[in-house]
Chain A
Amino acid sequence: TQLLEQSPQFLSIQEGENLTVYCNSSSVFSSLQWYRQEPGEGPVLLVTVVTGGEVKKLKRLTFQFGDARKDSSLHITAAQPGDTGLYLCAGEKLVFGKGTKLTVNP
């Protein structure tokens, strides 16, 4: 079973700050996905990373896949209230991490 640990569990910051959240496992992944979920809605796919060391950018979001393909990070630059949500990582075995609940205060 692929277990995914996400940290921090909760994060509350002010608009304009930068932040990084992490997704770690002892297992090697062939691919890893990041999702964002807003209250009462389904998760929305943000990105898929597949190559060790890969860096992908989506506007102010930067995703990195670890060289050993066991971990990943999501960095948000100049966070905005619209970034508020639950950030989930998932591997190809259909299991999600527990998520990071991000709140960006105006």
Chain B
Amino acid sequence: DTEVTQTPKHLVMGMTNKKSLKCEQHMGHRAMYWYKQKAKKPPELMFVYSYEKLSINESVPSRFSPECPNSSLLNLHLHALQPEDSALYLCASSHLAHPVAGELFFGEGSRLTVL
């Protein structure tokens, strides 16, 4: 069982909705990540938080808004998404922080469908 928990596992939303994806880890890791994965593609990095501060934003559109309330929690707020944003959104954590992340521990992902 993964020690990174993501909720919800599935989310369907309209283009005008506001929703959030949540991620939690209790391994004491100090870095947390959001990745986006389209079908038959590798995960693509979106955001990195190191010690609860945003350290990397890979030019992600502002309709995706990350938040790290504390060292165990990571949220991704979604607003005015487009159908092409439909994907598996993966949260990960690592003991080491950017720029040398080392081993990543992933959650099972949140499958997002934008209608």
What chain B residues lie within 8 Å of A40 (beta carbons)?
88, 108-109, 111
Residue of A nearest to B45 (CB): A94
Q: Does B48 contact A (CB under 8 A)?
A: yes
Give the number of residue pairs across the A-B interface with Cβ within 8 Å.
58
- Verify A48–B102 contact, CB threshold 8 A: yes
| Interface contact B106-A42, CB-CB below 8 Å | yes
Which single member of B56, B92, B103 contacts A42 (CB below 8 Å)?
B92
Interface of B is mostly: loop
Stretch at the interface among A54-62, A64-72, A76-84, A85-93: A85-93
Q: Cβ of B48: which chain A residues have Cβ within 8 Å of it? A: 94
**B106 x A43 contact (CB < 8 A):** yes
B103 touches A33 (CB 8 A): yes
